[in-house]
Chain A
Amino acid sequence: MRKEIIIQSDPKSPISEVFRALRTNIQFMNKAADCQTILITSTVQAEGKSWISANLATTFAQSGSKTLIIDADMRKPRQHKIFQMNNVPGLSNFLSEINDLGRRQRINGMDCVKPTEVENLYLLPSGNIPPNPSELLMSDKIIELINEVTKNFDVVIFDGAPCLLVTDSTIISRLVDSTILVTSQKYTKIDDLKDAKKRIKRVGGNIAGVILNRVEISSKKYEEKYYYASTNTPVLQTERRRQAKRNYEDSDFENNDELKIKNSFEKYNKKESKSIKRNDTEVDEYINDKIKDTQRQIQDEIRSTKFKSKVEVPSDKAREILDSIKKYKD
């Protein structure tokens, strides 16, 4: 899973706190108006819909509700990237009844739902990118899906497409219990927001509220950590580095013990500050050595297992080329 799920990667950051507050607000609304299905949309693209819906869904899942997140943005799907899962089969396959190999097949909606790495959180990805997402959403099958899904899940979050550019989200907004609009500071235009509200009201959708995203926060006011907790970290944390880290964590249990020892040293240091400081660095060095060792082991493993070819004989074509090379003289 990517670092974008701040609730999971950094549960103590102020941003996670804000998401938890948002969840409580929605839960209170839940009792009053029974809103089980929530659509998250915005005026134009790149305002933070997918990020907010992923994090909001994670907070719901952590609170114990069985949560489903549906990637309803069939034009530019992103949820499968955030949770690092396959995009097919998904919503578009269910709606169009065409499977990922291009054949006609009735697909059960619940078959497309996959569990994510977060406990209690499930994802219905968007599926293959269809040429006509709006038409697909107009069909009765979407109502069938919502009925089926609401039986099985406590909370269902739709990650929609921007509602000023395409009609997809407007269509969904009349089917769900409530709609949340995402805006971002110094980016969303007020007229656009008014227009979006008008469109949703016109088809009979309920707007629960507006989330203001990407608010600039002065570093004096909060800890510096807040600033770096956003997804725009200066150095890109790519999958391979995470993978290496994961391998390291999985492979070495001894090291975890070492970390515990290190933590205990830290605690001890706080009590008697200067006396044991040298030991701490020693432990650090030891851990660094261990990390290097395991990385080397992983690389050796890859070399020995993955890249072993079966038969060591050149094919006929290759033999011709080999002969020509042997004959070659300058």
Chain B
Amino acid sequence: MIDTHSHILPSVDDGAKDIIETFKIIKEACDAGFSDIFATSHYIEGEYEFDKTDRAFIIDAIMQKIKEERLDINIHIGAEGYISNELPNLIKEGIVPTLGESRYVLFELPLRAKVMYTDEVILKLTKMNLIPVIAHPERYELIQDDPSIAIDWIESGALLQCNYASIIGRYGMKAKETLYKLLDADAVHFLGTDNHRAGSIYTRMDEIKKEFRRRIGRDKLYELSELNPRCILNNEEFDIEMPKRIKGRRKQIKAVD
């Protein structure tokens, strides 16, 4: 399995506090059966501003320690960007790294507020020959209210990464229901843990995988957790299925007259 979303780097963001916790998490990941992890610590302007070179140095140092400890796992560079009009420029200037230095760019939206310019950012990124990947759409209030917005994003050229732990209700019932809707509509392309702490998600992977298998089957889970993320590692493109339109009431515009 390959984890496309994690916060394991020590004291870079709100993830692992120190190197001791980082190694606790890495060992848990090994036990859970992960072979590769993208270290996607936050990059938020004015808050967490570790640039690409710093991340590369930290990951190199951690990889050395991993080899000394003889653990069978690889950490790859990455970042979870925060949506803004500046994001495409930051990537162009090499401040925010892409996932494993491939063409895939992971970024998140605010959880509660509604951002109007998502499509513009997606368009800008695709024009730069990059592939935008939107992190945990099922956690956004915007998508919980109207999941078909996520389908619009896919049609504009973005891919979606959902969180493993949403299926066991870690982020609330609404997120769980939204994840079900997205999975049923073939609108999920990657799965990631979004793991911040030791002893949280990696220790519950058995339970999570069981839930996923029950919902989408063994083959589809293999595709989302291994095959598609492998394409990021190899910097390849893959064909996606046309997502189905999500049924259910769409918020209608009220008549004014």
Contact = CB atoms under 8 A, between A and B. Distances in A.
A244 B237 contact: yes
Contact of A241 (B62, B120, B237, B254): B237
A330 interface: yes
B97 to A, nearest CB: 8
A32 to B, nearest CB: 32
Contacts of B240: 235-236, 238
B94 A307 contact: yes
Contact of A167 (B18, B57, B257): B257
A302 B102 CA distance: 9
B19 to A, nearest CB: 4
Interface string A292-311: 00000011001100111111
Contacts of A88: 120
B113 interface: no
Contacts of B128: 306
Contact of A166 (B19, B126, B235, B256): B256
Interface string A265-286: 0000000000000000000000
B50 A317 contact: yes
Interface stretch (A47-55, A108-116, A148-156, A320-328): A320-328
B237 A240 contact: yes
Contact of A129 (B11, B51, B116): B116
Interface stretch (A8-16, A79-87, A217-225): A79-87
B257 A165 contact: no
Interface string A219-259: 00000000000001111101111011001000000000000
Given A235-B239, A240-B237, A322 B129 contact: no
A236 B154 contact: yes
Contacts of B61: 322, 325-326
B19 A325 contact: yes
Given A84-B123, A322-B58, A325-B61, A306 B242 contact: no
Contacts of A325: 10, 19, 58, 61-62, 65
Contact of B18 (A75, A303, A324): A324
Contacts of A166: 253, 255-256
A84 B54 CA distance: 35
Contacts of B10: 321, 324-325
Chain A: number of interface residues, binned into ranges:
35 or more
Contact of A314 (B57, B98, B116): B57
A302 B103 contact: yes
Interface residues of B, number: 52
Contact of B92 (A240, A306, A318, A322): A306
Contact of B129 (A129, A240, A308, A321): A240
Interface string B1-41: 00000000111100000111001000000000000000000
A272 B154 CA distance: 47
B57 A302 contact: no
A236 B235 contact: no
B53 interface: yes
A321 B8 CA distance: 13
Contacts of B252: 45, 165
A49 B101 CA distance: 41
Nearest to B54: A318
Contacts of B120: 86-88
B240 to A, nearest CB: 6
B72 interface: no
Given A302-B129, A324-B19, A236 B253 contact: no
Contacts of B156: 81, 239
Interface string A193-233: 00000000000000000000000000000000000000011
13 contacts: A84-B123, A235-B239, A235-B241, A236-B240, A243-B129, A309-B52, A318-B58, A321-B9, A321-B58, A324-B19, A325-B61, A325-B65, A328-B19
Given A309-B53, A314-B54, 19 more contacts: A45-B253, A87-B119, A167-B256, A170-B257, A236-B155, A236-B243, A243-B127, A243-B129, A244-B237, A303-B101, A303-B235, A308-B94, A313-B53, A314-B58, A318-B50, A321-B19, A322-B57, A326-B61, A328-B65
Give me the 10 closest cross-chain CB pairs, A-B, nearest first: A318-B54, A239-B157, A239-B126, A325-B61, A314-B57, A328-B19, A236-B242, A309-B94, A238-B157, A309-B53
